[in-house]
Structure 1
Amino acid sequence: MTDPLTNLSAFQELAARRLAGFSHIAVPDAPGMRRAGVVICVVPGADGPSVILIKRAYRGRNAGQWGLPGGRMDSGETPEQAALRELHEELGLTAGPGDVLGRLDDFPATSGFAISPIVVALPEPGPLQPSPDEVHSVHHVSLARLAADDTPRWVPQLEGGRMLQMKLGPGWLVHAPTGAMLWQFREVVLLGREVRVADFVQPDWTSK
């Protein structure tokens, strides 16, 4: 059997099947809530299929933070449409509805956004063209790294609960919201476990 952690076609088949059987939770509308769509975009990588992460440009909202390609939904857009539009605007990658494998839970961020993660696979993504206005740098994390036992770290908090850190490389720790969405992707899609993430603790600086 081909390993979906090392073979993109096998990943696409597995992800489509598992996401089809996953009932995502949508955050209901509320006064003042804003909505965003982001893409968990799987592409070929040097170490096997990889997810694209970005470090945001050092200006504006979320300056310098780790994130997934994506952004605010425009009026009349679906989360999928917003996520794919932002993928093109931020990285120059074109994806259509046929590239979408499914959707994970909305994440209610402390910034006031409900973030909808859309899972996409691009076997032939073409060259990246990062927008300097929005993207400081582009990084890849392999599916094998995401699935590794030592990737999630749980840090106890003084006020109770635990904060998730996704250890994606040396000195590379990603927290909620992005870390929470990557953890749910890991658990649901890569490992076949049904988990929820809406109550994950977020660092104070993610609300700015």
Structure 2
Amino acid sequence: MGELENLSRRFGGHVPGLLGARAGYAVLCPLVERPEGLHLLFEVRSRTVSQGGEVCFPGGRMEPGETPQSCALRETEEELAIPREQVQLLGTPDFICNQRGFLLHPVLGLVSPQGLEALHPSPAEVAEVFTVPLSFFRQTPPECYRYNLEPQVPDTFPYEAVGIPRNYPWASGWVEVPVWHYGPHVIWGMTARIVRSLAEV
């Protein structure tokens, strides 16, 4: 098999992703209907898992061949016992590219009343669940904090070989972290960035 055929096989029909991404994750952004309007359903992570105590959406790492939608539904069923057939998928908001080298895919879905009745958090992963009116996020601006991403280039970088000066202006960046306080809960980080994108619609 020639090089051209190898390249054609590799990239023909290829769905582009993030170059160098080590993993993909998906979360369900669960909407529930209340008499006063739409709410978002959140989890608080169990203290026995990574990032314990943080507020998040149900979700996790995508398995090989899995779509963001199927991953989000699977993880929601595992974490909250909400059957996937009780979630009406509404679409896929913009994904987040994390500086640690992974993609986070939000999936928007409406949980049926039957799905809410079936809700039973897995104590191994979820400490509690709560809902917040979507109107709260629309009417309440988050606190916003920013931190810088500064390049740290090793002294051994071959500046001369690549033809650039040692004072080369390496690109830097920044990340904005929105924070909402809702009762005893704090919604922040990537979860809050997703919420902000939904509230801005």
Structure-1-length-normalised TM-score: 0.68
List aligned pairs for 1:1-208, cutoff 5 A: 28-31=17-20, 33-45=22-34, 47-96=36-85, 99-124=88-113, 125=115, 126-148=117-139, 150-155=140-145, 157=147, 163-188=176-201
How far residue 111 of structure 1 moved from its aligned partner, in angstroms, is: 4.5
What secondary structure, in the 3-state scheme, does the structure 2 residue paired with 1:44 have? Answer: strand
Quote the Cα distance in structure 1 between the aligned partners of 2:32 and 2:106: 16
Deviation at 1:112, TM superposition (A): 3.5
Q: SS of 1:99's equivalent?
A: strand
Residues 158 and 39 from structure 1, CA distance in 2 versus in 1: closer, same or farther, beyond 3 angstroms? closer
Conserved 8 A contact 1:43-1:122: yes
| Structure 2 segments unaligned to the other structure (5+ residues) | 1-14, 150-172
**Separation of aligned partners in 1, 2:99 and 2:51:** 12
Q: Which moved more, 1:33-42 or 1:90-99?
A: 90-99
8 Å Cα contact 1:154/1:162 also seen in 2: no
Contact 2:148 2:175 in 1 (8 A): no
**In structure 1, C-alpha distance between the alignment counterparts of 2:46 and 2:36, rounded to whole Å:** 26
AA paired with 1:130? P
* TM-score after normalising by structure 2: 0.70
Query: Is the Cα–Cα contact under 8 Å of residues 45 and 140 in structure 1 kept in the other structure?
Result: no
- Residues 115 and 141 of structure 1: CA distance in aligned 2, closer, same or farther (over 3 Å): same
Aligned to 1:197: none
Instruction: Tell me the residue number matched to 1:11.
Output: none
Q: Which has the larger radius of gyration?
A: 2
Moved more, 178-187 or 54-63: 54-63
- Residues of 1 paired with 2:148 and 2:106: CA distance? 30
Q: Between Structure 1 and Structure 2, how many residues are aligned? A: 162
| Residues 29/153 of structure 1: CA separation in 2 closer, same or farther (3 Å cut) | same
Q: Cα distance 1:98–1:123, how it changes in 2: closer, same or farther (>3 A)? A: closer
Task: Please state which structure has a larger fraction of its residues in strand.
Answer: 2
SS at match of 1:76: coil
Structure 2 CA distance for partners of 1:30 and 1:164, relative to 1, 3 Å? same
Sequence identity of aligned pairs in percent?
Answer: 25
Is the alpha carbon distance of 1:27 and 1:83 closer, same or farther for their aligned partners in structure 2, counting shifts above 3 Å? farther
Q: Which residue of 2 aligns with 1:195?
A: none
Mapped partners of 1:27, 1:63: distance in 2:
33
Kept after mapping to 1: 8 A contact 2:143/2:179: yes
Structure-1 separation of matches of 2:148 and 2:21: 30
> Which amino acid is the alignment partner of residue 43 of structure 1?
V
* Contact 1:27/1:114, CA 8 A, preserved across alignment: no
